[in-house]
Amino acid sequence: MLQPRIPVNPLPTGTVIPLTPPTAPTAAPEPTQTAVPAPVAPPRTTVQLTPGSALALAAGGGTVVLVVGTVLVSMLLAVAITGVSVALIAVVLRLLVRDMQKGR
């Protein structure tokens, strides 16, 4: 009941071979499926980079890196400015609360 069962793995041809051999030999094996030839993929065209296209590709990649870097630095700067302003507000509120408790 609790013995592990290993699944039967189908081969790419479509025929299934069990991992354990059959216990009783069969008289005449019946063909279950005929072999189907694999579809042939169309030939791919090769991409050839000329010096001009390689330069354009490098310039485009550099531009992307600069834009993404600028966006990330501006987001970091916005978080830093927000943190400093929250800290200043906390200091001012602390001073106001202390003055109110002293009764001034």
What is the mean pLDDT for each group of 10 consecutive residues in the chain (104 residues)? 69 65 61 71 81 92 97 97 97 94 76
Which pLDDT score, from 0 to 100, does residue 102 have?
A: 85
Which pLDDT score, from 0 to 100, does residue 3 have?
A: 79
The pTM of the full predicted model, rounded to 2 decimals, is: 0.46
- With beta carbons less than 8 A apart as the criterion, state whether 15 and 32 touch: yes
Which pLDDT score, from 0 to 100, does residue 49 have?
A: 82
Q: Vertex 72, ends 71 and 75: CA angle to 5°?
A: 85
Which pLDDT score, from 0 to 100, does residue 69 have?
A: 97
Which pLDDT score, from 0 to 100, does residue 4 have?
A: 75
Q: Which residues of 50-68 are buried (b: 16+ CB within 10 A; e: fewer)?
A: eeeeeeeeeeeeeeeeeee
